[in-house]
Amino acid sequence: MSRIRKAYETRFRWLLQHLHARKLDRGVEWLLSKSQHQALEKGLSPSQALALVYEDLAARPRFRHFKTRLGQDRFFCDAGLGGLARWLRGAGYEALWVPGIDDDELLREARKLGTTILTTDGMLMERRLLRDRVIPAFWLPPTLVIVEQLKLVFREFNLPLREPRCMSCGGKLARAEKEQLRERIPPRTYLWIDEYFLCSQCGKLFWHGTHWRKIVATLNTLQAER
């Protein structure tokens, strides 16, 4: 069985378990079979078909209500998901990311901090701590670009947009006095922007320029589509 198929089998099983499905194994097999039919009928790859079946199932009201009650809104991204971590911070969520972190350390830290692991590693999802939901985790298809990853996480956890956090470290942002920061603000920026923010954790300076407006537009679109 491929890693991707096995990862989806785990996700199907977990959803059905929490709905107290009477014939769990049969339900999982039916969903896997459905994805095979979808692949043939629509000319999709096996991973695309599995994702389609899962998203259709997860979007149903019973599952959306369940996921909302989970309250999982603190994340630890694996070593390959630094870009996703930055975007989640921009959307207002705690998203930890350590470059080069190995799997064992990731599991230790996520369990200690009570965070949900986000990963593209199908083998990691086979670890007992994740398979048995001791540590909550969500697997993302490795073929997705960052915005597609973010859209899937928004949908999976039913996330609303929050006040943005520092995209560099995830710290909270606090409004700062323009005049007190004059030496740190580029002269041209100082002329046309009046609102500035400082990260309470790393001290980085932020303002809502053109780049930030593009980020907000993307986040608003994802919010509307989830």
Q: How far apart are CA 134 and CA 172, in angstroms?
A: 29
Please tell me what DSSP assigns to residue 79: T
Furthest CA-CA distance within the chain = 67
In Å, how far from its chain's centre is CA 79? 14
Digit-coded pLDDT (tens) for 159-187: 889 999 999 999 999 999 999 999 999 99
Residue 203 confidence (pLDDT) above 90: yes
Digit-coded pLDDT (tens) for 44-78: 888 778 888 887 777 676 665 555 444 478 999 99
DSSP helix, strand, coil percent of the chain (3-state; round to 5)? 55, 10, 30
Digit-coded pLDDT (tens) for 16-39: 876 777 788 898 899 989 999 988
Angle value at C-alpha 139, between 133 and 142, nearest 5 degrees:
160
Please tell me what DSSP assigns to residue 134: S
Neighbours of 13 (CB within 10 A): 17
